Structure formats: C-alpha cells, structure tokens
Amino acid sequence: MKNNIQEIIVRVLKNDVLEEDMRFFSEWLDSSDENKNLFFELKRVYDYRKEGSYPDDSEMEASWERLWKKIQGKKHSFKKKNTPLRRRKKLSATRWRVAATITGLLILGATLFYTQRELPVAWVEVQNPARGNPLSIALPDGSTVQLNASSYLKYPKKFKRRGREIYLDGEALFDVVKQNGNNFIVHSNKHKIKVLGTKFNVMDYSSDAYSVTTLISGKVQLETFNEEKNLRDRVVMNPEQQLRFNAYTGEITLNQVDIRETTSWINGIYSFQDVPLQQITDRLNKIYGVTIIIENEKCRAEKYTGKFSLEQDIEEIMRIINFNGQFNCITRDDTIILQQK
C-alpha cells in the first residue's frame, strides 16, 4: 500500500512530489491510455480553478492593445528591411520570454478570482521590457521600487493588513518604509526575502541559475528553498553585504562589496570587475533583449573588467568586449555568436 496511486496523483497535481513517487507515477501513466485519460481529465478539473489564470476583461483589453502595437510594428519593420539590431522587434515566443513587444510601460490589473464568496485580490503587474529604462514604481505603502529591464513585478493594489507581499522576476532596487513591525516580503524565483524597512537590490531572473542580493542599509533575512519547496537556508544579511546564491549547487557566498557598483544600473551604468564573460553576457541579454552565445567553454569563464552605459548600443559593446579581436562575431537577428578565433 505504500505506493497508492490516488495519493500520488494528488501530489503530482499539487507539484509536491518526490522522485520515488514520480517514477511510480510515470510508469503508471505510460501503462495504459485509460490511465492517461483519467489523469489528464483530473488535471483539467484541477486547472480550471487556477487562480487568476483565466484572463478577465480588463486584462484582455490590455492584451489586445499589445497585440495591436505588434501588428502595427510589424507592418513598419516590413518597409524598412535593414533595421538595426537594437531596434528590431522580437516576435518569436520561443526566445527570451520577456524581451517581447512593447516600448515603455505595461500595466495591467489582473483580478484574481477565488470563490464567489471571497473578495477578489486586485494585483498590479508591471513588466519592463528589454532595453527599457529603469522604471520607478511607488507601492501602496509608500515604498519605492526601481525595476530594471527584462524584469517583472507584481504587487496588490492594496496590501493586506498583515504582511506586505510582492513578486519579482528580474532585478529591482527596493526602498522599503518601516510599518510597525509589519513585514515586507519579496518572493522571487529562488528565494524569499523578509524585511522590516530597508534598502536592498535583488537580481533573481528565473532564467538564470544564480541570484545576487545586495543589502544597502537596514537588515534583511533571506531564505532559500530546495525543490520540494522546503527551507534550505536562512541567512541574515548586514549592510554592504552581497549574497550570491547558486540554485544548482545550493551554495551561498557572502561578500563585502562596493554598493555603488551594484546600484549604478538605475543610472544606466553597468560596471563589472573581474567577472566571468558569461555573467556579463547574461546581463546584456536581458538589458538589450539579445541572445549572446559563447561557443567555447573556456572563454565563458574568462574574466573581464569594464563599464558600459545604456546609451551605448549592443554592437558597440560587442566591439569593446572583442577589443583584441579574439572572437568572430556572428550576428543573426537578435542572436550573437562569439566564436573563438
């Protein structure tokens, strides 16, 4: 009775599953079409009520506006054949997922619906596209957020009385106001950061294997989780400390850093000191909405020092990186391949 398939099905649906369960489940699923039908039908019932994922009218209105902009944008780019790289719009959904679409700010209020009995929570979603300038956002409690390019923030129109919780995918600089012991919690892809009132910078893109959190003032508590969503580590950070977390190894490193360099992005300046090339290109991918591929593994780890400004275009930055002519730069649409010569 240890492997009860009904209970395992529920765990699979709930995304709370161990390797042993998953192996048993996969075997069960593959063993007959009947099992497949049963599971996928149950999953369909389960998915029907997934909170907020059925778009409401106001969300669809905003979604239509974005589509219409794309339709017009595409017409335009058909006329001008040799659009420079940095202006070219990205249309393939398989690419970098937030690099899409519009210039400027995109806000949509998505109303999540629970049961008819409960009051819906209204959320505000902000997406700053690739190549977007840092966006300044005022939260309902008076805290402020600077949101970097290719980044996403979701916060409620009104905070609950206890616990101010927001969601981030990407990079943001937070300045949180104190509120009588009322916690402020940032949920991001790899961790959860709990603060009372402080200033800190979080870079946690779901597309990256690592995250970097820098505390400027005050105190924060950062929690990391394993795949089963159980707490792995809890670290309390002090000012001017920078925490790097590697999601693959679970490794945490804590360093003392110059905070000016961490926050200079809000002024459009990116500086790197002895940073592996791969980490620099990871960043450029998000800022410029490109995909840079370094073919040689050794070259990825090579360390570079330099400073870029948002005013420079990606071609210029690639020329700077390639100062020695060590690479052949092959550009195809928004993909740049660096081949070692």
Partner 1 sequence: MQNVRLKNIAPCGNEKQVKEIYLQHAPGLIFFARKFVDSFTAEDIVHDVFLKLYHQDPGKLNENGIRAYLFSMVKNGCLDYLQHLKVEKTYVAKAQAQLKIEELRWYDSNENIVSNEKLNAIYNEIEKLPPQCKRIFIKSYLEEQKHADIAEELNISVRTVEAQVYKALKIIRDKLILFLLPFII
Which residues here bind partner 1, judged by CB under 8 A? 4, 6-7, 9-19, 22-23, 25-26, 29, 36-37, 40-51, 53-55, 60, 63-64, 66-68, 70-71, 74, 91-94, 97-98, 100-101, 114-116, 127, 152, 206, 227, 248
**Least separation in angstroms between CB 16 and partner 1:** 7
Q: Which long-range contacts (CB under 8 A, 24 or more apart) does 211-215 make?
A: 211/244, 211/245, 211/247, 212/242, 212/243, 212/244, 212/245, 213/237, 213/242, 213/243, 213/245, 214/241, 214/242, 214/243, 214/257, 214/259, 214/262, 214/263, 215/239, 215/240, 215/241, 215/242
**Least separation in angstroms between CB 44 and partner 1:** 6
Helical (H) or strand (E) element with 318? helix 314-321
Q: Residue 152 or 174: which CB sits closer to partner 1? A: 152
Q: Residue 35 or 179: which CB sits closer to partner 1? A: 35
Cα atoms in the Cβ-side hemisphere of radius 13 Å centred on 218: 18
Alpha carbon distance 219, 201 (integer Å): 12
Q: Residue 63 or 340: which CB sits closer to partner 1? A: 63
What DSSP designation does 265 have? G
Alpha carbon distance 272, 277 (integer Å): 10
**Least separation in angstroms between CB 319 and partner 1:** 29
Please give the angle made by the CA atoms of 136, 140 and 143, to the nearest 5 degrees. Answer: 55
Exposure class string for 117-140: b at 16+ Cβ within 10 A, else e? eeeebebbbbbbbbbbebbebebe
Q: Residue 47 or 251: which CB sits closer to partner 1? A: 47
Q: Residue 25 or 159: which CB sits closer to partner 1? A: 25
Alpha carbon distance 126, 156 (integer Å): 11
Alpha carbon distance 126, 166 (integer Å): 12
**Least separation in angstroms between CB 306 and partner 1:** 27
Q: Residue 49 or 319: which CB sits closer to partner 1? A: 49
**Least separation in angstroms between CB 101 and partner 1:** 8
Alpha carbon distance 151, 186 (integer Å): 14
Q: Residue 37 or 136: which CB sits closer to partner 1? A: 37
**Least separation in angstroms between CB 204 and partner 1:** 15
Q: Residue 101 or 143: which CB sits closer to partner 1? A: 101
**Least separation in angstroms between CB 99 and partner 1:** 9
**Least separation in angstroms between CB 282 and partner 1:** 13
Q: Residue 4 or 31: which CB sits closer to partner 1? A: 4
Under 8 Å between Cβ of 289 and 90? yes
**Least separation in angstroms between CB 141 and partner 1:** 24
Cα atoms in the Cβ-side hemisphere of radius 13 Å centred on 280: 25
Phi, psi of 111 (to 5 degrees): -95, 125
Q: What SS3 state is found at 94? A: coil
